[in-house]
Structure 1
Amino acid sequence: MRDELVFYTNPMSRGRIVRWMLEETGVPYKTEIMTFGGTIKSPEYLAVNPMGKVPSIRHGKTVVTECAAICAYLADTFPEAGLAPKPDERGSYYRWMFFTAGPLEAAATNKALGFETPPDKARMAGYGCFSDVMKTLESAVSTTPYVAGNRFTAADVYVGSHIGWGLSIGTLEKRQAFVNYLGRITDRPAYKRATAIDDEAMKAAQ
């Protein structure tokens, strides 16, 4: 019997990334909706994630936080879903997943906050400058059909979610390569199921 998998989230959060990933795995899970300013800062939840943020998962006795880590964990834990390349083919998989968790996330956040790296300080920033990040991301989603090669993986869930958000709120440039890539990966039953579940949860919360 498999350990219980509990998903802590809020439909207006990065939890949507993990919801999509969970739906891709096809494994059963229990959802705990955390409320901002309420249960998300409760002692019970802080014992799971001391940051008081979502998403998090608890799988038996194992707790994982941070979206990229959760996606990688789920891909490894449920290999029957085929969401990770073979170990000797994971270079691009790890590369672009953690590029997104680091440089892309930082660059997009700074853009949303109206901050631009001064040219003479670019070497101090982990991502250099915004234009470098956009050029690199465009290359990542244009070289092969999927970001880690010729088949869909957990890296596409993570990278694609960030591209989708960035295009919708204007923190990423609307380049055709991004639009094309997003179209390829979101025309999936798991993505549509996850979106419908979270959209319904948003309505219920309101």
Structure 2
Amino acid sequence: MALTFYTNPLSRGRIARWMLEEVGAPYETVVLGYDAAGMKAPDYLSINPMGKVPAIVHDGRVVTEGAAICAYLADAFPAANLAPPMADRADYYRWLFFAAGPVEQAVTNKSLGFTPNEDQGRLAGYGSYDRTVDTLEKALAGRTFVAGDRFSAADVYVGAQVGWGLQFGTLPQREAFTAYWAGLETREAYKRAATIDDALIAEAAA
């Protein structure tokens, strides 16, 4: 089955790249720029009308959004063993989509300088940045993996959020975060993905 990956190395596409490397299936990469000839071109907008990356097309089926791509690939390639059995997926779904929802929203709003007041926090899915970060910390404290006793697609997405947050200061340097990320950044699939994307960045800058 054909698998095509649309991305930019300076984007959330790095999360999907990591997941693809964990899956181990062959895929074609299409690198798009942030312009009318890239993500805003008609051909790509027919795949993702949002004009954003990442996106994958797997045997004619389109999947967008980083967390959805992680979950889809785990199910599409079960031999990679990146999703728990159905009876054990409560934490897997919970923290995968907690990172894609509240964490992503809280970090983005804080980076943009928006802090909701108490009334606004009732409307916001994440409530407040501090509460979201504290909840994530409790989920990761003393754990090697976020969902059960083995690595899963949830660790790709949650781990990418934590690693990015520690690197760029959008998450505080707490022991639960640094210890969790230290256990993930040495994975061979992560290192392969980072090497590929970093080479693309260097090539574009040359």
**d(CA) in 2 for partners of 1:170 and 1:83?**
29
Specify the alignment match of 2:30 in structure 1.
32
**d(CA) in 2 for partners of 1:120 and 1:32?**
43
Structure 2 residue runs of 5 or longer lacking an equivalent are none
**d(CA) in 1 for partners of 2:23 and 2:163?**
21
Specify the alignment match of 2:88 in structure 1.
89
Name the SS for the 2:62 alignment partner: strand
TM-score (norm 2): 0.97
Aligned residue-pair number: 204
**d(CA) in 2 for partners of 1:122 and 1:52?**
29
Specify the alignment match of 2:143 in structure 1.
144
TM-score (norm 1): 0.97
**d(CA) in 2 for partners of 1:79 and 1:115?**
41
1:104-146 Cα distance to aligned partner (Å, 9 max, x none): 0000001101111112332111111111101100011125320
| Alignment match of 1:4 (pick from 2, 5, 10) | 2
Q: Could you list the runs of 4 or more consecutive aligned residues of structure 1 that deviate by over 4 angstroms after TM superposition?
A: none
**d(CA) in 2 for partners of 1:101 and 1:142?**
19
Deviation at 1:204, TM superposition (A): 1.0
Pairing 1:45–2:53 present: no
Question: Residue 31 of structure 1 aligns to which amino acid in structure 2?
Answer: T
Question: Residue 108 of structure 2 aligns to which amino acid in structure 1?
Answer: T
2:55 and 2:62 in contact (8 A); partners too: yes
Deviation at 1:197, TM superposition (A): 0.3
Specify the alignment match of 2:167 in structure 1.
168
Give aligned-pair identity as a percent.
56
Question: What is the alpha-carbon root mean square deviation over aligned residues?
Answer: 0.9
Specify the alignment match of 1:13 in structure 2.
11
Name the SS for the 1:63 alignment partner: strand
Deviation at 1:174, TM superposition (A): 1.2
Structure 1 residue runs of 5 or longer lacking an equivalent are none
Question: Residue 84 of structure 2 aligns to which amino acid in structure 1?
Answer: P
Specify the alignment match of 1:200 in structure 2.
199
Specify the alignment match of 2:176 in structure 1.
177
Inter-CA distance 39–120: structure 2 relative to 1 (3 Å threshold): closer
Question: Residue 180 of structure 1 aligns to which amino acid in structure 2?
Answer: A
Question: Residue 123 of structure 1 aligns to which amino acid in structure 2?
Answer: R
Q: Higher mean Cα deviation, 76-85 or 121-130?
A: 121-130
**d(CA) in 2 for partners of 1:154 and 1:47?**
27
Question: Residue 20 of structure 2 aligns to which amino acid in structure 1?
Answer: L
Specify the alignment match of 2:153 in structure 1.
154
